[in-house]
Amino acid sequence: MFRRCLLACAALLLSACAINPITESWSDPKGSKPIQFSKTLVLANLATPADRRIAEEQWVASLPVIKGSASYDLLDDALLKDLPAAKAKVRDAGYSHALVMRLVGSKQEIVSTPSATFGRAGFWGGMRSGWAISTSDVETREVVAFELSLYSLTDDKLVWSGNGEITNPRKIADSVKKLADGTSQQWAAEGLVIGSAQ
């Protein structure tokens, strides 16, 4: 019973101390706050069509405040190569904002965590000396960096930009959910949205 309580407390503490994956951000100091979203185009500039679609759908689901639509419904992969035609189609569809996500890079990190085990030879033996075994746990992890940009399409201006990092991404949808949660927190802290966007 005690072990279950301890595990539950540890899980609660870890979730409460979750680190925002948005490491840096900028917002237009002249922009009006909060942002009035009416219709937002979400574009994930990723390597494959499948990655793009999964990411865009997850952004739309995870950040409802933007009133978003996945761009792949409007702009197929071929049309993205014809910028004038794509721009005209977005304008004609009446979007007020665009949220763009793109991969900046990735790197491998090696993390070493030292640890030690201490022991004593009973009470009387511990009065004189003890023993210790030093060990080190080594972990390799992948860090993927993203850039997020929010544009106002009515005046073609960048209104917010943020850099984000995800450690050990397993699935695109899970990674985007973490970035969307971090974006929501950041926007609320900067006054770009009212309260939490969740």
R_g (Cα) of the chain, nearest Å: 23
- Residue identified by tokens 């419904």 is 73
Does the predicted model carry a pTM greater than 0.85?
no
C-alpha angle with apex 26: 24 to 28, nearest 5 degrees?
175
- pLDDT at site 142: 82
Domain boundaries, the chain: 21-104+145-190
Q: What is the pLDDT of residues 67-90, one digit of tens each?
A: 999 999 999 988 888 989 999 999
DSSP strand pairing (157-167 vs 130-152): antiparallel
- pLDDT at site 185: 94
Q: What is the pLDDT of residues 27-53, one digit of tens each?
A: 999 988 999 999 999 999 998 999 999
- How is domain 21-104+145-190 classified at the CATH fold level? Rossmann fold (3.40.50)
